[in-house]
Chain A
Amino acid sequence: MTVATIPAPAFAIETFRLDNGLRVVLAPDPGAPVVGVAVVYDVGMRSEPEGRTGFAHLFEHMMFQGSHNVGKAEHMRHVQSAGGTFNGSTHIDYTDYFNLLPANGLELALFLEADRMRGPAITAENLENQVSVVKEEIRVNVLNRPYGGFPWLKLPPVMFDTFPNAHDGYGSFDDLEAATVEEAQAFFDAYYPASNAVLSVAGDFEPAAARALVEKHFGDVAARPAPVLPSFAEPDLDEERRESYVDERATLPAVAMAWRTPDPVTELTGFLPYVVLGELLTDGDASRLVERLVHRDRTATAVAAHATFMAEPFASRGPTALLIQAFLPPTGDADTVMAGVGEELARVADGLDEAELGRVKARVAAQLLRGDDSVMGRSRRLATAEVFHGDARYATRFATLLGEVTAESVARAAATLTPNRRAVIEVVPGGNQ
């Protein structure tokens, strides 16, 4: 059997900081005549105010509604007229805005991002329009489909007690409809200073020229102090928590389990074995749980494990979890699945051989590299590495760090996933029975 050596991506990374506190990452790569431009703000769903669930995401929409020199819908028009694409996304711990353009659009993208970093143009009319759009987004992604929000929206309220960790980050319609222009301005003032952001540029450009353009467009964005990140800490569970709900559109029972992990940032070394463990358990037909539950016992029809709620182990803070989710055959039983998971975790805790570990690491490395195939993906990953790990260069080191994870540490991680620390959410199918 061949086990490939794990390569590291080879592109230069330059970082600097402007006087207003904006951190900048440049990763030149002339491979294709395109550039990725990402701005990551260090604010996510965890920071939205009580009574305003979904506000971080709604605010992300408002950042596309115009700014000082850019009218409504003009951001999109400018990027698209340069042949580019754009989007934004709101996560538990961050919000990012990203653009991919032919290389001659670099200055345009920098101008547009700088303009809205000075402040979006928030009007009551635009806010009302985007509340409607967000409600349709939630209907598409959560309310009108089977298993909507499972498990990423359904498990945190079981596992956590405090509002930042437990609430629905997509938001309730009542909270969204109650949002005001003043609240949006206050949210911008608190969380969107340059000093709370990272700008990242990857692709085909000259670093010196790009640096000059960054200084030209972002240099006069006002300096404002960054917010102090509060602690979101909560105690670990000491006894199992388990809930269930009926999903009228679901046809199969499903169950998700989660256990708290070490902090992905402050306890990175302790956290990495959980990332490897997730892959070992469910990546491909050779993985422990797919082989056991899907193919041997036939107690599950699909199973997946991942570290952190949105499966982004290197763009998350604590408290967070390792999740295992399974879809069951129509007559399946969640307790049987959980017992099988427990037995397999105990087997891993007893030790694993280096050949299996080597294969899993090769697969993890290939998946990380695939994220670097596009300069847009690369710019986003560099920016989140700078935000969460204080150095964009971490983005190129995760494969190596995961390669250093030992069999013993993975076994120890598996041993911590005991029933008494577990949060469980079950989906009871109500659909077309």
Chain B
Amino acid sequence: MSTAVPALSPEVPLALPTPVERALPNGLSVTLVRRPGVPLAEVRLSIPAAHADLAVADLLAAALFSGTESSTMTQIAQRLQGVGGSLGAGADPDRIAASGNCLASGLGELLDVLGELLTAADYPEGPLGVERSRMIDGLSVAEQQPEFQVSRALDARLWGEHPYGHQQPTAAEVAAVEREAVRALHASRLHPTGARLIIVGDIDPDATWAAIEKSLSSWNGVGEPRHMEPLPQPAPGPIVLADRPGSVQSAIRVAYPAVARTHADNAAQHLANLIYGGYFTSRLVMNLRESKGYGYSPRSRVDHSPAGSVQLTSVDVATEVTAPALAEVVAELRGMAENPPDEAELDLARRYALGSVKLATATQAGIANYTSALASCGLPLSWLAEHSERLRAVTPTDIKRVAAERMSPEGAVTVILGDGSHVTAPLSEIAEIEVL
């Protein structure tokens, strides 16, 4: 007996909320999204910080909550805790960002705390020293994680001297950061001009705007606008092998340039990535995981950053199958142009892509994250609706063309982190290798 799989009911249209866009006189851009559901508010603040010293920016982010001219670290933490809130901060080559959430009824308090931190964070020597030590200790652990190790090697190989080539400071760099450097970075770069605050949740936009005016209008100062130069063109070359003695798996990373979200080929690139390795039903997952059992989560994704976009294949496999797994990755990549998808394979990926937009914007946190990611590339949330329409128009011919133009193993940079004593010889038989 066989039962037919039920058909889908008619498609539910994408329903994006309409953000309220405002700006404070001090230059802070504000995006407010009322999205009822749970009585919470999600907060994202992004401040441009291109060419800030990486170690100083990381320590600033870690110590931002360590005390102000009038409050101790404990007092700040208690105020946030009292409204069910938490705030954290981080830095990357483009920005210093703070994010958090709280009970919606306590949003005013969280914004008050944020305003005090931005205008009066003092980075007291004692707590700053604690954060510096914690960062150094944390780096010593991170440097044992294969994901961290291979990302560091790949960034350096892809981007060289561009700031994206060095995205994680070393322990020595962190150890050298003095309090005055942190205070100087705050004074020169943490300004509202060019910064964006996004709040999503069970909020009243008018009341929230009033709370923002009260808490953040006094944040000011003259910043030094700096721009991140575009990513250089990566130079393909031998496979880079980063030795990790005793590693029971090899981390294979294959990267090549991708087009930006605003490029005419972006929709086709999005779907080509899905078909190749961007979702479970992709060629890469079906081959490497479900057929060969080489790895747990082979995957490919397109990363869009302010300085440029890149497409990245990530496969972690048992040491003994490193060379055959790499050969399969190369074959699948080549297959995208040589054996392009038919209408059915394309349509499956298209339906997944269209649904993913609905799922990703179904939560407060999802809307906040998507709004923030798009804003960093200068795009509004409504871009998702336009992108969805472009996804509908992509043809198999488009996929074949995009794959042929960009998804070629010859144009890729490959980095493998693994036990060199076991993988060097088998890899040398199939490719040219450069050992780090």
Contact = CB atoms under 8 A, between A and B. Distances in A.
Nearest to A142: B248
Interface residues of B, number: 89
Contacts of A33: 12-15, 358, 362
B352 A4 contact: no
B84 A76 contact: no
Interface string A355-370: 0001110111111011
Nearest to B37: A31
Contact of A250 (B76, B141, B351): B141
Contacts of A330: 137, 140
A199 B165 CA distance: 48
Nearest to A251: B140
Contact of B296 (A72, A78, A100, A137): A137
Nearest to A216: B6
Contacts of A390: none
Given A100-B359, A146-B141, A432-B144, A359 B78 contact: yes
Given A145-B144, A298-B130, A301-B133, A81 B348 contact: yes
B82 A359 contact: yes
Interface in A120-142: 128-137, 139-140
A237 to B, nearest CB: 30
B105 A5 contact: yes
Interface in B77-101: 77-86, 101
A227 B81 CA distance: 44
* Chain A interface extent, by class: 35 or more
A327 B290 CA distance: 37
Q: Is the interface of B mostly helix, strand, loop or mixed?
A: mixed
A362 B318 contact: no
Contact of B105 (A4, A73, A106, A329): A4
B258 interface: no
Contact of A81 (B6, B81, B103, B352): B352
A363 B77 contact: no
Given A4-B82, A107-B6, A294 B134 contact: yes
B319 to A, nearest CB: 9
B105 to A, nearest CB: 5
Interface in B347-372: 347-348, 351-356, 358-359, 361-366
Given A100-B359, A285-B74, A140 B103 contact: no
B58 to A, nearest CB: 16
Given A129-B293, A140-B249, A80 B280 contact: yes
A258 B131 CA distance: 27
A136 B316 CA distance: 8
A302 interface: yes
A103 B359 CA distance: 10
A298 B145 CA distance: 24
Interface in B295-332: 295-297, 316-318
B84 A363 contact: yes
A49 interface: no
Contacts of A287: 77
B39 A132 contact: no
Given A111-B5, A136-B293, A301-B133, A144 B355 contact: no
Contact of A102 (B12, B38, B76, B248): B12
Contacts of A34: 358-359, 362
Contacts of B164: none
A76 B281 contact: yes
A336 interface: no
A251 B145 CA distance: 11
B145 A145 contact: yes
A375 B362 CA distance: 8
Nearest to B247: A144
B138 interface: yes
A372 B37 CA distance: 9
Contact of B291 (A3, A129, A147, A375): A129
Given A286-B74, A302-B134, A72 B290 contact: yes
B144 A373 contact: no
B286 to A, nearest CB: 6
Nearest to B9: A104
B429 interface: no
B409 interface: no
A68 to B, nearest CB: 8
A308 to B, nearest CB: 21
A69 interface: yes
A6 B4 CA distance: 47
29 contacts: A1-B82, A2-B79, A31-B36, A80-B352, A80-B355, A83-B353, A102-B358, A107-B9, A111-B5, A115-B3, A131-B293, A132-B293, A133-B290, A136-B249, A139-B318, A140-B296, A144-B248, A145-B144, A284-B77, A286-B80, A295-B130, A301-B138, A327-B141, A365-B103, A366-B84, A366-B103, A367-B84, A375-B362, A431-B144
Given A4-B105, A295-B127, 13 more contacts: A2-B79, A4-B82, A7-B105, A32-B363, A69-B3, A130-B293, A132-B294, A140-B316, A146-B141, A286-B81, A298-B130, A366-B83, A374-B363
8 tightest A-B CB contacts, nearest first: A83-B355, A132-B293, A366-B84, A286-B77, A32-B362, A285-B77, A33-B12, A251-B140
